[in-house]
Amino acid sequence: MRDALKRAFDVTAAGLGLLLLSPILLAIAIAVRLNSPGPALHWSKRVGRGNAIFLMPKFRTMRTGAPNVATHLLQDPEAWVTPVGGFLRRTSLDELPQLWSVLKGDMSLVGPRPALFNQDDLVALRTDAGVHVLRPGVTGWAQVNGRDELPIPRKVELDAEYLARRSLTLDLKILILTGLTAFSGRGVRH
């Protein structure tokens, strides 16, 4: 019952979000295209529920040709981030296209952030903690408790805590905290 209610909430909120935010999504897409050559969206291979790989859309914040690794693993991340990309990352506006993945069922509004396909250490720790049974989220408990500043083991601890405590009330709390965190830019390194 809890999962059906969560899915109904996800579909309703993502559908309304895409509809209401469509002018903003269009404006961001145009800004990304005008700011640097390449497509407006980047489709990233991510690890989803049950460790299945799916393609997740984000507004492109990196220059074309950037290595396909987590930003913190790049030698000079700032050299790859586009001028508008830094703003999109700080405000988390680059994440808005993921509402499509929520609508499609690859993601939830709230859950552990989806690992990159090559983040074997994160995937292994999440699998050991049982977190891999959850749909990944646009935001999550770890996101509102440190984002990029957290070491991987701590992220997994917070993901496991979310798994144990998950409820619609906790999801609503996380969504509210995400709004506050996103607009402050707190916890974003690159």
Q: Is 162 exposed, middle or buried (0-12, 13-18, 19+ CB in 10 A)?
A: buried
For helices 2-35 and 83-91, what crossing angle results, to 10°?
A: 160
Q: What is the pLDDT of residue 90?
A: 86
How much is the pLDDT for 73? 64
Q: How would you classify the pairing of strands 115-116 and 137-139?
A: unpaired
Largest Cα span, the chain:
47
Q: Is 90 exposed, middle or buried (0-12, 13-18, 19+ CB in 10 A)?
A: middle
Q: Could you tell me the two tokens for 102? A: 């929520």
- The pLDDT score that the predictor gives to residue 57 is 98
pLDDT at 190: 43
| H or E element at residue 43 | strand 41-47
pLDDT of residue 148: 72
Strand pairing report for 137-139 and 108-110: parallel
Res 184: pLDDT: 59
| pLDDT at site 189 | 46
pLDDT confidence of residue 91: 86
Report the DSSP beta bridge partners of residue 41. Answer: 59
What per-residue confidence (pLDDT) applies to 30?
97
- List the chain pLDDT tens, one digit each, 190 residues: 678 999 999 999 999 999 999 999 999 999 999 998 999 999 999 999 999 999 999 999 988 877 676 666 667 777 788 989 989 988 889 999 999 999 999 999 999 999 999 999 999 999 999 999 999 999 999 999 987 788 999 999 999 999 999 999 999 999 999 888 766 555 444 4
Looking at the DSSP assignment, which residues form a beta bridge with residue 115? Answer: 47
pTM of the model: 0.87
